[in-house]
């Protein structure tokens, strides 16, 4: 059973929000309302979606504002920027209308390079869930459930993170100190969690990556040092 990580509101900075209460918090938070209704801002219709990296929104999850006119490729870039990008792998979507983003035989000349220019509102229904796979080898799947549609006024309309899960990085399993453990990957200790000091002895020749706040943590060398920091363009401000 997947563990549950609690979240932090990017409006009021309240922590300890559990996933099933996140939608209600977004609706009631005065600071979120204020930042999404700026005097003189551009009127925009937007989805609110929960984005999660497993079959249920427990471990890695976010509540995100996505303007309805956002192209699919910008949603994809957001997911890569905050959770996925490591080596420029391929992506494929499932559940978008008209087969947008689905895997195609690009070598057979069947790719439509501009198809992801279509607005996300033309590809999903309110209440619907879609998914995106990143990397066709070591695949990470991200799901998006579009649960609400609201009207906002923003100076610079775009995707914004409203609530994001936080993680408690485990103590080093050798010295027990909270030293931001790393993954050490080898045949004998697959993804064992040890700090640099303990791991650089017996395991110094094995691959290692920092534990990140992402469902891709440890896959294909994925590592993001500032994993609690939301990229500036997606911050609620």
Domain ranges of the chain: 7-166, 168-225
3-state helix, strand, coil in the chain (%, to 5): 20, 30, 50
Do you know the residue count of the chain?
237
Which CATH code fits 7-166? Answer: 3.10.290.30
For position 23, what pLDDT does the model report?
96
Pick the more confident residue, 116 or 143.
143
For the stretch 19-22, contacts whose Cβ atoms lie closer than 8 Å and that sit 24 or more positions apart, written own/partner, are 19/50, 19/52, 19/57, 19/58, 19/61, 19/165, 22/50, 22/61, 22/63, 22/163
Is the pLDDT at 147 greater than 70, yes or no?
yes
Helix (H) or strand (E) holding 16: none
For position 190, what pLDDT does the model report?
47
Provide the pLDDT confidence category of residue 131 given band limits of 50, 70 and 90. Answer: very high
pLDDT in tens, 168-177: 777 777 788 7
CB of 67 closer than 8 Å to CB of 158: yes
pTM for the whole structure? 0.86
Instruction: Report the DSSP beta bridge partners of residue 131.
Output: 94, 143
Pick the more confident residue, 103 or 17.
17
pLDDT in tens, 58-105: 889 999 999 999 999 999 999 999 999 888 888 999 999 988 888 655
């Amino acid at each position: 059973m997947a563990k549950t990580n609690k979240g932090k509101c990017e409006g009021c900075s309240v922590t300890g929000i559990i996933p099933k209460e996140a939608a209600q918090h977004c609706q009631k938070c005065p600071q979120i309302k204020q930042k999404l209704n700026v005097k003189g801002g551009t009127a925009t219709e937007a989805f609110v979606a929960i984005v999660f990296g497993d079959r249920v929104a427990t471990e890695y999850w976010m509540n995100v504002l996505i303007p309805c006119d956002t192209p699919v490729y910008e949603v994809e870039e957001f997911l890569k920027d905050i959770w996925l990008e490591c080596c420029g792998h391929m992506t494929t979507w499932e559940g978008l209308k008209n087969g947008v983003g689905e895997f195609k035989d690009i070598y057979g000349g069947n790719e439509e390079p501009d198809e992801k220019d279509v607005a996300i509102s033309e590809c999903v229904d309110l209440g619907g869930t879609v998914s995106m796979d990143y990397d066709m080898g070591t695949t990470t799947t991200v799901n998006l459930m579009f649960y609400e549609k609201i009207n906002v006024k923003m100076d610079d309309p775009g995707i914004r993170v409203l609530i994001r899960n936080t993680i408690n990085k485990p103590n080093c399993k050798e010295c027990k100190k909270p030293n931001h453990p790393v993954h050490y990957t080898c045949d004998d200790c697959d993804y064992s969690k040890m700090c640099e000091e303990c791991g650089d002895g017996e395991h110094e020749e094995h691959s290692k990556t920092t534990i990140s706040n992402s469902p891709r943590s440890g896959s294909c060398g994925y590592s993001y040092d500032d994993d609690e920091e939301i990229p500036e363009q997606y911050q609620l401000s």
